[in-house]
Chain A
Amino acid sequence: MSHKFQVHLSGLINLLSNHLYSGPEVFVRELLQNGVDAIRARQLKEPRFAGKMTLELSKPVKGVPTITFMDNGVGLTEDEVHRFLAIIGESSKRADAGERPTDFIGQFGIGLLSCFLVSDEIVVVSRSMTGTPAVEWRGKPDGTYQLKTLDADLDAGTQVFLRCKPGSEEFFDAERLTELARHYGGLLPFPITVVSNSGSDVINTDELPWKESSANPRTRQKNWMKFGQDLFGMKFLDAIPLMSQAGEAEGLAFVLPHSPSLSAKRSDRVYLKRMLLSESADKLLPDWAFFVKAIVNANDLRPTASRESFYEDQKLEQAREELGECLRRYLVDLSRNQPEKFRKLLGVHQLAIEALAAADDDCFRLFIEWLPFETAEGRMTLPEYLARHDVVRYIPDLDQFRQISRIAAAQGIGVVNGGYVYSTDLLEKFAELNPDVQVIPVESSEVAHALEDLTEAEQDAAEVFLQTAESALRSYRCAVDLRKFRPSELTSLYSINSEGRFLRSLEQSQEAADSMWSGVLNNLAGSSSASAASRATLCFNQANPLIQRLVTLGKQPAVRPAVQMLYVQALLMAHQPLSSKEWKLFNEGLLTFVESGLST
């Protein structure tokens, strides 16, 4: 003979709710969901039927608080109660076909049983609209239940009675219950009344906020803005209506008043058939749309197992595209028709607009002339930059741009910082779409090469000095150069490319590492260290009086330590930590100068 497992339901429900749901408060959602499903089922048979739901809280002075939930939906016959309430996960209304077994529990919801999270007994009294006798179902967390028919002549519909179990008092509170009902059911098209000692309140209206009927677009906009502020507690910059055929989605997107962090997850408030699904959905809008926070209802998207997010399928993909298109159109309109407003939005949401421009050629063409780039001479748009310079030179590396930007600015050399997230993408796209403009990625040392060259006579005069300097820095793998640049107080300019920087930090680790790791680092550096000299350059400034004197000294003994000291100084100015070898150099150089100072 076959036996059955003993399943302790409440344990199972607890487990499920911890894994699938956010907390016990979902029982309110499940009650409302059952009610909504029952009402919609009834409306299939009586199309004009007016559905309604009530949550009644009773708190006797002595005794246990209770919640009674009532709907006037289709109701259940005795047979249906056996079938639907007795089998975990099964429900008369949500049984859409074609689900994969892994989604079983989620698709159907643990439904009513989630009430065991707050109550040790669930009593359901229901009368089917078919007119069969009313039934009473009493379920216990151990999985047993009793069922009896009642004589009473009840209206069609279902009532659920819950008794507060110890520890769940917070949910048997008028304020909390109203808040939860509004939270989950605020957009439901059937009135929900919360009844308690302090009176009775209908907590929702039939109207969807984005279906604002006002004919005056300004009033409409104002109402939307107010709605957004009430909903999210934030004063937004603008409200944008959203609509998608795919998934039958509609809603509003609010432009955030601050620029969100790129690493933050987006969180929209989404509803499925007007029941709250999630307030932190991150899949419904495209990635670049991080400048808005949206509220959206979809009638035809599929929920995930937890019923707290949408299932990622092609319909969702298409809805995302259509909703994104609404935002895109908004930005395009704004840039064309309301340039001042667009500029303001750009001030706050430059990154989002850059992301969109980088992803979409049409938007790129429209937005690019608005977008400011960081250049050596300050922030400016590409047209502004091109009014000054013929060639767009950009440094794709943040650190190298910083090394060179001040010097470049002083010489009037145009350089754009390509080190921020979208800058390089945008510049490359600009090059692709504007073949007549030269756009070249450069390294900081190449910018140094653009500094003024010496005359031939000066070059000859400096030859010995440069040889001395080169040999003084050879073991530090730093090349030397001599040019003229402003400001003349500056003795030299140190530039290092990303490979050179990498090798410096590698050597720094190698100094500290044990022999095993030191060997690993050695191999990692590999052949690249052979040509390392070209990766760092110390460019002396012929316009600087001290350098002019050193040049005349050629290879006299003081030149070598002076060059080495200048090298260390340049490293520190470039925020490069010194290796132990360089520290030693610094100390020795210092001593040499102190001694020579004492001996004169």
Chain B
Amino acid sequence: MNDELPDDPRSAVDELMEQAYEFEHGSTQIALIEEAVRMADLSGDPDLAFGIRQELIDASTMGGRPDLALVAFTWCLAQFDKNPQDYDAHGILWKYKWILASLAEFPQLTREQIDAAANDMEQRTVNEGYTRHAVETMRWKLAMDFGDHDEMQRIYERTRKIRRDALSDCKACVQNCTVEHYMLLGKPKLALRSAEPILSGRMGCSEIPEITYGGVLRPLFQLDRLDEAMTTHLKGYRLVARNPEFIDTVAEHLRFLVMTGNDGKALQLISRHLPAALANPSLLKRLRFFFATVQAFLALEAKGQESVKLRLPPGSSFTRAEGVYPAGELRQEFEDAARELAMQFDERNGNSYYQNFLEKLRETPKQIKPFSAPARKRKPQENDE
């Protein structure tokens, strides 16, 4: 890894991209491509600047930086609109899906802005001769994030009747959405039935089954299929542990550990992932992680545990030097942080979905079903293996 870059911006871009490809999705890769974008801009070649930004959109979407992806995308879209003959419309619409679906994760954006973006994508989709399958699937995802169950069902019903085409999300992704759809509606059996083609390995893509493993934990738990849930947790967690993009899936694993009374492991997960949650530009994913964290402390409190030994990231507002926390206070702090975000989202979404969700977490201690992973010979490493 070389500190010195070539003076010629084009060579610098090549070198940075070559380095970037060596890394897995995450902050190092993104930092290298960001710099490559700046060098591409300095080169004065708009096509190069466009191409490298496309790479940045990919890397930051897959690496947990939807804010960066959005910024790079708007530049590309403007460039595309200026010279539509120079670029590939399918390519830009494909990325439009990711961007559109991510918009609800930012409570700073209004419903009107998000709807306008959806309409804009729809218009472009139709103009290019595609069906509305792709854009409606994104609206479906947005409705899930808005906590709007009626809208989710309406969109689900009408989207099923639309023909898939080259712009559609892959089948595994759509199937995973169906799992989430039923999970959110509180229909665990349907959720699991929808998950079956993914869990059996017949469907998959770059992010599936990783996400699905986290998504089925809740329905499996609800149906008392704890053994399966534990197996799924064990194999699913390690697949999502390293990438901040999956922090909400990690939250599902954390929640599962809390609900099965595995407090020690739950605390380890909090220590390990809180930095990524706090740094996460997707406030919705951050909120979901906070929810699971609140549950963890509620469970400890209910057990009468007064203090918690925990390593929190240096510099966070939650962190104290001594590393020992009164369980009640910690719960309160995370609950406050979660409530503040929940209120922001609810205000934007025009409902009280996330605040209600937070209130319902109070029932956590009553819902716990203790279940532990079978003992193993060597003390397990909590991290990557």
Note whether A and B form a binding pair: yes
Q: Show the binding face of A for B, using Cβ within 8 Å.
A: 19, 102-103, 245, 261-263, 286-288, 304-306, 312-314, 317-318, 320-322, 324-325, 355, 358-360, 374, 397-399, 402, 405, 419-421, 428, 431-432, 441, 501-502, 505-506, 508-510, 512-514, 516-521, 523-524, 526, 572, 575-577
CA distance A420 to B20 in the complex (A): 11
Q: Mark B220-249, 1 if CB is under 8 A from A, else 0.
A: 000000000001001100100010000000
Q: How many residues belonging to B are interface residues under a CB distance threshold of 8 Å?
A: 64
B127 at the interface (CB under 8 A from A): no
Minimal Cβ-Cβ distance residue in A for B374: A314
Closest-CB distance, A429 to chain B (whole angstroms): 10
Please name all residues of chain A whose beta carbon is closer than 8 Å to the beta carbon of B231 when the two chains form the complex.
Answer: 313-314
Beta-carbon contact of B21 and A517 below 8 Å: no
Bound-complex Cα distance A526 to B344 (A): 13
Whether B71 sits at the interface, judged by CB under 8 Å, is yes
Interface residues as binary, B303-314 with A (CB distance below 8 Å gives 1, 0 otherwise): 000000001011
A575 and B39: CB pair below 8 A?
yes
Residues in chain A near residue B25, CB distance under 8 A: 263
Query: Using Cβ atoms and an 8 Å threshold, which residues of chain A touch B72?
Result: 505, 509
Q: Is the CB of B34 within 8 A of A402?
A: no
Q: A509-B75, A517-B74, A523-B113 are in contact. Are A360 and B383 (CB under 8 A)?
A: yes
Give B1 Cβ to nearest chain A Cβ, in Å.
Answer: 7
Kindly name the residue among B72, B235, B385 whose own CB sees the greatest number of chain A CB atoms within 10 A.
B385
Interface of A is mostly: helix
A19-B202, A287-B384, A516-B116 known; 12 other A-B pairs, CB under 8 Å? Answer: A263-B24, A312-B235, A314-B373, A399-B34, A419-B28, A502-B67, A512-B75, A513-B74, A513-B77, A520-B109, A523-B108, A575-B5
Q: How many A-B residue pairs have CB under 8 A?
A: 154
B:113-156 near A, CB below 8 Å: 113, 116-117, 120
The answer for the CA separation of A516 and B108 in the assembled complex, in Å, is 15
* A405 and B234 contacting across the interface, CB-CB below 8 Å: no
Which residue in B23, B41, B70 is a CB contact (below 8 Å) of A421?
B23
Residue B364 CB within 8 A of the other chain: no
Q: Which B residues are CB-close (under 8 A) to A304?
A: 201
Q: Given the known A-B contacts A313-B231, A360-B383, A575-B35, are A432 and B311 also in contact in the complex, defined by CB atoms under 8 Å?
A: yes
With contacts A506-B71, A509-B72 taken as known, whether A402 is within 8 angstroms of B200 at the C-beta atoms is no
Given A359-B385, A524-B109, does the pair A397, B31 have CB atoms closer than 8 Å?
A: yes
Determine the chain A residues whose CB is within 8 A of the CB of B74 once the complex forms.
509-510, 512-513, 517-518, 520-521
For residue B39, which residue of chain A has the nearest CB? A575
- Of the A-B pairs whose beta carbons lie under 8 Å apart in the complex, a sample of 7, sorted by A's number, is A359-B384, A374-B1, A398-B31, A509-B74, A524-B70, A575-B5, A575-B42
Task: Flag if B385 contacts A324 (CB, 8 Å).
Answer: yes
Chain A: minimal CB distance from B235 (Å): 4
- A88 to B346: give the CA distance in the assembly, Å: 55
* Neighbouring B residues of A509 by C-beta, 8 Å: 71-72, 74-75, 78
Q: How far is the CA of A512 from the CA of B5 in the complex (A)?
A: 28
A405 contacts across to B, CB distance below 8 A: 3
CB distance from B211 to the nearest CB of A (A): 16
B101 shortest CB reach to chain A, Å:
14
Asked whether A520 lies within 8 Å of B117 as measured between CB atoms, the reply is: yes
Rank and list the top 6 A-B pairs by shortest CB-CB distance, nearest first.
Answer: A577-B41, A359-B383, A512-B78, A286-B385, A398-B31, A509-B75
- A314:B28 contact, CB within 8 angstroms: no
Contacts of B1 in A (CB 8 A): 374, 420
Nearest-Cβ distance from residue A107 to partner chain B, whole angstroms? 12
**Which chain B residues border A102 with CB–CB below 8 Å?**
196, 200
Bound together, the chains give a CA A317 to CA B21 distance in angstroms of 29
Whether A263 and B21, one on each chain, are in contact in the complex, defined by CB atoms closer than 8 angstroms, is: yes
Tell yes or no: B32 within 8 A of A by CB.
yes
Contact residues in A for B28 (Cβ distance below 8 Å): 398, 419-421
A286 touches B384 (CB 8 A): yes
Query: When A263-B23, A325-B378 are in contact, do A514 and B108 touch as well, CB less than 8 Å?
Result: no
Out of B22, B42, B313, B314, which one reaches A577, CB within 8 Å? B42
Of residues 10 through 47 on chain B, the ones whose CB sits less than 8 Å from some CB of chain A are: 12, 21-28, 31-32, 34-35, 37-39, 41-42
Known: A428-B314, A517-B78, A577-B41. A524 touches B106 (CB 8 A): yes
Tell me, rounded to whole Å, the shortest Cβ–Cβ distance linking A243 to chain B.
Answer: 13
Contact B22–A261 (Cβ < 8 Å): yes
A521 with B38: CB separation less than 8 A:
no
B333–chain A nearest beta-carbon distance, Å:
22
CA A263 – CA B5 in complex, angstroms? 23
Contact of A523 among B109, B200, B234 (CB under 8 A): B109
CA distance A422 to B24 in the complex (A): 12
A130 to B83, CA, bound (A): 79
- Chain B residues within CB distance 8 Å of chain A: 1, 3, 5, 12, 21-28, 31-32, 34-35, 37-39, 41-42, 67-68, 70-72, 74-75, 77-79, 81, 103, 106, 108-110, 113, 116-117, 120, 196, 200-202, 231, 234-235, 238, 242, 311, 313-315, 373-374, 376-378, 380-381, 383-385
Contacts of B78 in A (CB 8 A): 509, 512-514, 517
B26, B31, B34, B376: which contacts A321 (Cβ < 8 A)?
Answer: B376
Q: B377 — which chain A residues lie within 8 A by C-beta?
A: 245, 318, 322
Check B35–A103 contact: CB distance below 8 A: no
Distance of B213 from chain A, by nearest CB (Å): 10
In the assembled complex, the Cα of A501 lies from the Cα of B200 at a distance in Å of: 44
Cβ B380 vs Cβ A321 within 8 A: yes
Min CB–CB distance A277 → chain B (angstroms): 15
In contact, B117 and A374 (Cβ under 8 angstroms): no
Q: A526–B200 contact, CB under 8 A? A: no
Find the B residue at minimum CB distance from A575: B38
- Tell me the nearest residue of chain B to A423, going by C-beta: B28
CB neighbours of B70 from chain A (8 A): 520-521, 524
Which B-chain residue is minimally distant from A316 (CB atoms)? B235
Taking A360-B381, A517-B74 as contacts, is the C-beta distance between A317 and B235 under 8 angstroms?
yes
- Of chain B, the residue at the smallest CB distance from A501 is B34
Q: Which residue of A lies closest to B5 (CB)?
A: A575
Q: Is the CB of B79 within 8 A of A318?
A: no
Q: State how many angstroms separate the Cβ of A359 from the closest Cβ of chain B.
A: 4
B contact residues around A263 at 8 Å (CB): 21-25
Contact of A317 with B234 at beta-carbon distance under 8 Å, contacts A420-B1, A513-B77, A524-B109 already known? yes
Which of B78, B311, B380 has the most chain A CB atoms inside 10 A of its CB? Answer: B78
Q: Which residue of B is nearest A405, CB measured?
A: B3
- Whether A505 contacts B120 in the complex (CB less than 8 A), given A102-B196, A523-B110, comes out as no
Q: Contact check, A513 vs B385: say whether CB atoms are below 8 A apart.
A: no
For A422, give the chain B residue with the smallest CB separation.
B28
Are A524 and B67 in touch, CB under 8 angstroms?
A: yes
Q: Quick one: closest B residue to A356, CB to CB?
A: B384
Please give, as numbers and ranges, the residues of chain A lying within 8 Å of B77 by CB-CB distance. Answer: 513, 517
How many angstroms from the CA of A431 to the CA of B27 in the assembled complex?
Answer: 21
- How far does the Cβ of B6 sit from chain A's closest Cβ, in whole Å? 12
How far apart sit A419 and B30, CA to CA, in the bound complex (Å)? 11
Contacting pair A321 B378 (CB below 8 A)? yes
Q: How far is the CA of A372 from the CA of B37 in the complex (A)?
A: 29
Most buried by A among B71, B108, B231, B315: B71
User: Chain A contacts of B314 at CB under 8 A?
Assistant: 428, 431, 441
CB nearest neighbor in B for A432 = B311
Known: A523-B109, A575-B38. A399 touches B31 (CB 8 A): yes
CB distance from B237 to the nearest CB of A (A): 11
Give the residues in chain B near A428, CB-CB below 8 Å: 313-314
Residues of chain B with a CB closer than 8 A to A510's CB: 74
A502–B23 alpha-carbon span in the complex (Å): 21
**Residues of the B chain whose Cβ atoms lie less than 8 Å from the Cβ of A516:** 113, 116-117, 120
Q: Which residues of chain B are within 8 angstroms of A512 by Cβ–Cβ distance? A: 74-75, 78-79
Q: Hey, which chain A residues are within 8 Å of B42, CB to CB?
A: 572, 575, 577
Question: What is the CA–CA distance of A286 and B79 in the complex, to the nearest angstrom?
Answer: 44
A344 to B384, CA, bound (A): 25
Task: Determine the distance from Cα of A345 to Cα of B89 in the docked complex, in whole angstroms.
Answer: 47
Give chain B residues whose Cβ lies under 8 Å from the Cβ of A325. 378
Distance in angstroms between the alpha carbons of A510 and B117 in the assembled complex: 15
